[in-house]
Amino acid sequence: MRAVDIIEKKKHGEHLSREEIDFMVQGYTRDEIPDYQMSAFLMTIYFNGMGKDEIAHLTESFVNSGEQVDLSPIEGIKVDKHSTGGVGDKISLIVIPLVASAGVPVAKMSGRGLGHTGGTIDKLESIEGFRIELSSKEFIDNVNRHKMAIVGQTANLTPADKKIYALRDVTSTIDSIPLIASSIMSKKIASGADAIVLDVKVGSGAFMKTIKEAEKLAETMVGIGKSLNRDTVAVITNMDQPLGNQVGNSNEVKEAIKVLSGHGAEDETTIALTIASHMCVLGGAFGDFDSAYSKLQETIKSGKAIKKLKELISIQGGNPEVVENTDLLPGARNSIDIKSEKDGFVYQIDAESVGISAMLLGAGRRTKEDKIDYGAGITLRKKIGDTVKKGEVLYTLMTNLDDYQDAVERMKEAYVISNEKPETKPYIYNIIK
Ligand code: URA
Does 12 qualify as catalytic in the annotation? no
Task: Tell the burial category of 165 from Cβ atoms under 10 Å away from its Cβ (0-12, 13-18, 19+).
Answer: middle
d(CA 275, CA 233): 9
- Does ligand 1 have an atom closer than 6 angstroms to the CB of 55? no
> Which domains, and CATH codes, for the chain?
3-49 (1.20.970.10), 79-323 (3.40.1030.10), 331-418 (3.90.1170.30)
Q: What is the mean pLDDT of the chain?
A: 95
Catalytic residue among 81, 187, 254, 308: 187
Does 145 qualify as catalytic in the annotation? no
Long-range residue pairs from 302-306, CB within 8 A, at least 24 positions apart, any chain? 303/261, 304/101, 305/97, 305/98, 305/101, 305/260, 305/261, 306/97, 306/257, 306/260, 306/261
pLDDT at 114: 67
pLDDT at 81: 95
Does 108 qualify as catalytic in the annotation? no
d(CA 16, CA 223): 18
- Does ligand 1 have an atom closer than 6 angstroms to the CB of 186? no
Does 278 qualify as catalytic in the annotation? no
pLDDT at 42: 98
Does 161 qualify as catalytic in the annotation? yes
Residues 147-157: b if buried by 16+ CB within 10 A, e if exposed? bbbbbbbeeeb
- Does ligand 1 have an atom closer than 6 angstroms to the CB of 173? no
- Name the β-bridge partners of 349: 415
pLDDT at 6: 98
- Name the β-bridge partners of 106: 148
Best CA proximity match to 247, nearest among 397, 144, 130 = 397
Residue 410 CA from chain centroid, whole number: 23
Atom of ligand 1 nearest to the CA of 174: 6
* Contact call for residues 220 and 105 (beta carbons, < 8 A): no
pLDDT per residue as tens, the chain (433 positions): 999 999 999 999 999 999 999 999 999 999 999 999 999 999 999 999 999 999 999 999 999 999 999 999 999 999 999 999 889 999 999 999 999 999 999 999 988 876 677 789 999 999 999 999 999 899 999 999 999 999 998 779 999 999 999 999 899 999 899 999 999 999 999 999 999 999 999 998 888 999 999 999 999 999 999 999 999 999 999 999 999 999 999 999 999 999 999 999 999 999 999 999 999 999 999 999 999 999 999 999 999 999 999 999 999 999 999 999 999 999 999 999 999 999 999 999 999 999 999 999 999 988 778 889 999 999 999 999 999 999 999 999 999 999 999 999 999 999 999 999 999 999 999 999 9
Closest residue by Cα to atom 3, ligand 1, is 184
pLDDT at 427: 97
- Helix, strand, or coil here: 141? helix
pTM for this one?
0.95
Angle subtended at Cα 37 by Cα 46 and Cα 44, rounded to the nearest 5 degrees: 20
- Tell me the CA distances in angstroms from 348 to 242, 399, 424, one per residue in order: 11, 24, 12
180 alpha carbon to ligand 1 midpoint, in Å? 5
414 alpha carbon to ligand 1 midpoint, in Å? 25
CB within 8 Å of 294: residues ≥ 6 apart: none
pLDDT at 311: 98
- Does ligand 1 have an atom closer than 6 angstroms to the CB of 59? no
